[in-house]
Structure 1
Amino acid sequence: MSRRGAWQLERLVFSWCKFSGSSKGAREFQEAYFTKFQQDNPHLPIERLTEPGCHPRLKGYFRCGRVRQVGLRNSSPDEILRQANMLRNSVGRITSHQIKQRQVFPKVRGPDGELLHTPQSVQGAWRPAEL
């Protein structure tokens, strides 16, 4: 996606295996769509790597420093083209949902200072029943 006239995706790396069955769609993508995709996006340097024994994948390197990787295992050539367009049109920034997943919550301690559990719960901290 273009922000203020500059594309955010700096580089796209397409890797696949020459022999594995999971890379069949990636090999078909090379024959059918790759040259057209490269001609449609002259601003985008695209690297092609053959990695023996690995599943196919796309890696997008963005201006903000973020790297996004998309697995293409057993994908059709049309699906691979859709994923490449999705990476090209992405901004690369981290969304608020992803930030919330990375938050570290404070440890919960009981009245005597004993560590009860690390994540906070809506129901409160668990305490053993008093006899």
Structure 2
Amino acid sequence: MSNSHLFLQAGFLREPLTNGIGRVIVQLQRITFKFCKYNGASNGVREFLESDLLDFANGNPGIVVYVKPRRHHSPNITAEYLNGERQVISLHNFTRDEVNKWVKFLRTQSGNPFIRFRKMSQTVNPSIQGTWTPFTNRNPDLNVVEFPQEMLSHPVNLPRTATEHLQEIFRRQQGV
């Protein structure tokens, strides 16, 4: 395990993860490309601007795109998010594909700074029973079963559900 997590700020998840319920609001508000028109380290950025920038701008009308040529400066991207955070990425000697990947990465980020979580899960009402997973109440025999298996896929061998049990009770009461 690396020690890179030691340099990250520690904290808890501050807001609920509700972006995407209903519709997704892209958190990237503004992206600025700074590059040199003549420097060789800016080749990938210039190629991206010539070929892919219009597609990116048309596909993301809610993101404002600025292009700032700067003489004798190393190329970089500055991303500004709705929560006020800024992220600057140096693009020194990057190819067009790498620049495209970084732009897509910045577009999909929330803008929150990367933090080391103090706990793996956070809840308002903590449980004394531990963390639930989809495999908590599963039969351990399924760990060694090779799928597909006839016994599990055939509907006759499945146990009755609570709905079927209630329907049977209702039929008995109706006298059917």
TM-score normalized with structure 1 length: 0.69
Question: Are 1:36 and 2:55 matched, yes or no?
Answer: yes
Select the residue among 40, 51, 64 that pairs with 2:70: 51
User: What is the distance in 1 between the residues matched to 2:69 and 2:117?
Assistant: 31
Tell me how far apart the structure 2 counterparts of residues 40 and 22 of structure 1 sit (CA, whole Å).
27
Could you tell me how far 1:98 is from its partner in structure 2? 9.1
How far the C-alpha of 1:6 sits from its partner, in A, is 2.2
Structure 1 stretches lacking a partner, 5+ long: 100-131
Partner of 1:14: 33
1:91 to 70, 93, 110: 110
Q: Which has the higher strand share?
A: 1
Tell me if 1:70 matches 2:89.
Answer: yes
* In 1: Cα distance, 2:85 partner to 2:100 partner: 21
Larger Rg: 2
What TM-score results when the alignment is normalised by the length of structure 2?
0.52
Q: Deviations over 1:16-35 (max 9, x none)?
A: 00010100111111111111
Any gaps of 5 or more consecutive residues in structure 2?
1-17, 119-176
d(CA) in 2 for partners of 1:11, 1:83: 14
Instruction: State percent identity of aligned pairs.
Output: 26
Q: Which has the higher helix share?
A: 2
2:106 and 2:99 map into 1 onto residues whose CA distance is 11
In structure 1, C-alpha distance between the alignment counterparts of 2:57 and 2:80, rounded to whole Å: 16
The number of residue pairs the alignment matches comes to 98
- What corresponds to 1:3 in structure 2? 19
The structural deviation recorded for 1:81 is 0.7
Q: 2: CA distance between counterparts of 1:47 and 1:69?
A: 14
Structure 1 residues 98 and 69: alpha-carbon distance in aligned structure 2, compared to 1, 3 A threshold:
farther
Instruction: Describe the shift of the 1:79–1:62 C-alpha distance in structure 2 as closer, same or farther (beyond 3 A).
Output: same
Deviation of 1:3 after TM superposition, in Å, equals 2.4
